């Protein structure tokens, strides 16, 4: 009997303001529309069994009113009896004191704070409505209310951003001593305001310099670079995201949410009206072959410091990683991949060049 997924992703698509770079499924917040959405979302949650981790993302989940947030968190209470980690994304300007109290009351034990940059002028440029002073205020509020497990998102490669700007961002964030940081290079997709305004991402050479500087400074400060874009103090790695990187099944609930269950990877419809009316269930649904799953296990595992477990790979697919030996060989020789008795993993340089490695493995 197959085990049900142990991770649940819930998508709240509403935002008070749409950021210039955002390509996620998102819509401007309207209270009645959000009420209708929560009704539909709670119907979808009925199929979900108890899980170990829940991640509520968006959009901006804290764009919901206090009563709507309470309603959402009440709806997931039957699913979290044994949950180890319950994360919610929050914007500093919509995370009020009473919403923090609501999160704590319902067992939320991790907050992902959208910081992006510490430069107030740059924040305005990318469409953020908070200041860095507001970030500091909300971090202090969370810690005062005994919710210290805070992860912060930081972007680099922003319009006209310099290497010195990134260093300044890191210095200011490190003063706050976050337990976890997620670092993302700016990408500009077609369905974004930045694309429509012809704003360009940073040149690849500068972006690489920024990434290497981030890596150096955070590892020097004691953070483990446990996944390509993620750094954590010991004991604060994201349990939910580990389900993704270990290629476990997970539920995806809500408009535009992705999931993987029983050898099927899916993305729910990204059309809000279709989701509310139950007209179309999926934007994409792919039945995965054994070859698909073997490659995707490598793709996800090689993102992490731990890499791919040989035993788990064999137990899952009844074949050995050595079937890729001819493709691995050049990268092992170059030191981009490293193999030991228990695992295959990418070196720091290998993770920097992981796309090239994976293309060769296809």
Mean pLDDT by 10 residues, the chain (362 residues): 86 77 69 96 95 94 97 93 91 96 96 94 87 96 95 91 95 95 83 70 87 95 96 97 96 96 96 91 95 94 95 94 89 94 93 86 74
Token digits for 358?
Answer: 């994976």
Q: How far is CA 120 from CA 138, 174, 184, 185, in A?
A: 16, 17, 18, 19
Cβ(118)–Cβ(155) below 8 Å:
no
Q: Which residue has the tokens 């440029």?
A: 125
Hey, what are 275's tokens? 């989701």
Name the CATH topology of 308-362.
Answer: Arc Repressor Mutant, subunit A (1.10.10)
| pLDDT for the residue 334 | 94
Topology of domain 7-244 in CATH is pyruvate-formate lyase- activating enzyme (3.80.30)
Residue span(s) of the chain under CATH 3.80.30.20 come to 7-244
Q: Range(s) for CATH 1.10.10.920 in the chain?
A: 308-362
Cα 148 to Cα 362: distance, rounded to the nearest angstrom: 42
pTM given for the model: 0.93
- Structure confidence at residue 18 (pLDDT): 61
Separation CA 336–CA 334 (nearest Å): 6
The per-residue pLDDT for 1 is 43
In the DSSP assignment, the letter for residue 304 is B
β partners of residue 261? 264
- Cβ proximity of 257 and 9 under 8 Å: yes
Q: How far apart are CA 74 and CA 213, in angstroms?
A: 43
Task: Specify burial of residue 289 (Cβ count, 10 A radius: 0-12, 13-18, 19+).
Answer: exposed
**Parallel, antiparallel, or unpaired: how do β-strands 308-309 and 337-339 relate?**
unpaired
């Amino acid at each position: 009997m197959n085990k049900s997924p142990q991770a649940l992703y819930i998508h709240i698509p509403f935002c008070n303001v749409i950021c210039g770079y955002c390509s996620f499924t998102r819509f401007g917040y309207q209270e009645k529309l959000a009420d209708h959405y929560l009704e539909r979302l709670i119907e979808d949650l009925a199929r979900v069994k108890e899980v170990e981790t829940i991640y509520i993302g968006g959009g901006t989940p804290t764009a919901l009113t206090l009563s709507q947030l309470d309603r959402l968190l009440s709806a997931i209470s039957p699913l979290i009896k044994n949950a180890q980690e319950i994360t919610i994304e929050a914007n500093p300007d919509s995370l009020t004191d009473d919403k923090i109290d609501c999160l704590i009351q319902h067992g939320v034990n991790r907050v992902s704070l959208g910081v992006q940059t510490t430069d107030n002028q740059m924040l305005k440029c990318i469409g953020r409505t908070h200041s860095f002073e507001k970030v500091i205020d909300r971090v202090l509020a969370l810690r005062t209310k005994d919710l210290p497990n805070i992860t912060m998102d930081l972007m680099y490669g922003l319009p006209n951003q310099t290497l010195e700007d990134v260093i300044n961002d890191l210095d200011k964030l490190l003063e706050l001593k976050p337990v976890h940081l997620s670092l993302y290079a700016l990408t500009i997709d077609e369905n974004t305001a930045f694309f429509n305004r012809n704003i360009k991402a940073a040149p690849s050479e500068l972006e690489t310099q920024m990434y290497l500087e981030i890596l150096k400074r955070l590892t020097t400060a004691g953070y483990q670079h446990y996944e390509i874009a993620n750094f954590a103090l010991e004991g604060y790695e994201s349990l939910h995201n580990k389900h993704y990187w270990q290629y476990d099944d997970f539920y995806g609930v809500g408009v535009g949410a992705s999931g993987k269950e029983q050898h099927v990877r899916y993305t729910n419809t990204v059309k809000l009206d279709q989701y509310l009316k139950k007209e179309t269930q999926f934007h994409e649904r792919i039945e995965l072959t054994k070859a698909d799953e073997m490659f995707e296990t490598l793709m996800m595992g090689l993102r992490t410091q731990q890499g791919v477990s040989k035993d788990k790979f064999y137990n899952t697919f009844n074949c050995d990683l050595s079937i890729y030996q001819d493709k691995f060989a050049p990268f092992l020789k170059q030191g981009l991949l490293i193999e030991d008795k228990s695992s295959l993993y990418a070196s720091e340089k290998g993770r920097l060049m992981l796309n090239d490695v994976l293309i060769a493995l296809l």
